[in-house]
A = this chain, B = another copy of it.
Amino acid sequence: MTPAIVARIDRADPKLIQRLGECGVATVHEAQGRTGLLRPYMRPIYPTARVAGSAVTALCGPGDNLMIHAAVAVVHAGDVLVVATTSESIDGMFGELLGESCVAHGVAGLVIDSGVRDTAELAALNFPVWSRAISAQGTSKTIAGSVNLPIVCAGASVEPGDVVIGDADGVVIVPRESAASVVEASNQRLEKEARTRERLKAGELGLDIYGLRDVLAQRGVKWIE
């Protein structure tokens, strides 16, 4: 880790970001070949949380939020903070005051592989957060780290400017340069799913729609009436 703060990053087209957010985590994850998903232990702090934005990354020491404050200095409206720590921690690195600061600067949300506190106040601010834990444990502001360098967050590689999508199902990262192609693949998937949904609602079986009776036969699965 180089202790540095990179101010300027490239971002994806806002329309692509918006569309990826509409498609949702599960669809986008599938559309890009089942990649980019953060570990499922990352959960939203309130059930209706949704976000789509450009990743501004921060790497912090465990139990230290100095670099989150630094990150707020370089965000653009619509960005999503993506925070990891150099060793595992669940301390409450982010709370209401940082939430207010983020809202003032137009930050769209937070994804943090650590703990968060003041969750009731953050929910009242309508500021969406995905975290590993909820913890009131206080933290320091003294450890060097990085802003807008590549990080690993909850098992996934994140480059600054990548698109971050979060909803009730978790968080997925779309590499900036593939945002357009993933939108296209997502749209196709949604269209196809819409047709499949109608057939399933009409009572057709997945076995028939997906051609799975042959798979069962090939695998030697017997039907016993």
A94-145 residues with Cβ-Cβ distance < 8 A to B are 95-98, 100-101, 103-105, 115, 117-120, 133-138, 140-145
Question: What is the bound-complex CA distance between A25 and B224, given in angstroms?
Answer: 31
Q: Is A92 an interface residue (CB 8 A)?
A: yes
State the copy count for this chain. Answer: 6
Q: Is A35 an interface residue (CB 8 A)?
A: yes
Tell me how far the C-beta of A122 lies from the nearest C-beta in chain B, rounded to whole angstroms. 10
Task: For A212, give its contact among B141, B202, B223 (CB under 8 Å).
Answer: B141
How many residues of A are in contact with the other chain, CB < 8 A?
Answer: 94
Task: For A119, give its contact among B103, B169, B205 (CB under 8 Å).
Answer: B169
- 28 A-B contact pairs sorted by A residue (CB < 8 Å): A1-B35, A4-B223, A7-B225, A8-B225, A26-B95, A29-B138, A34-B86, A39-B88, A46-B47, A61-B63, A62-B63, A62-B89, A63-B63, A66-B212, A66-B216, A70-B221, A72-B205, A87-B137, A89-B89, A97-B196, A100-B201, A141-B210, A141-B212, A144-B219, A144-B221, A146-B221, A152-B156, A157-B157
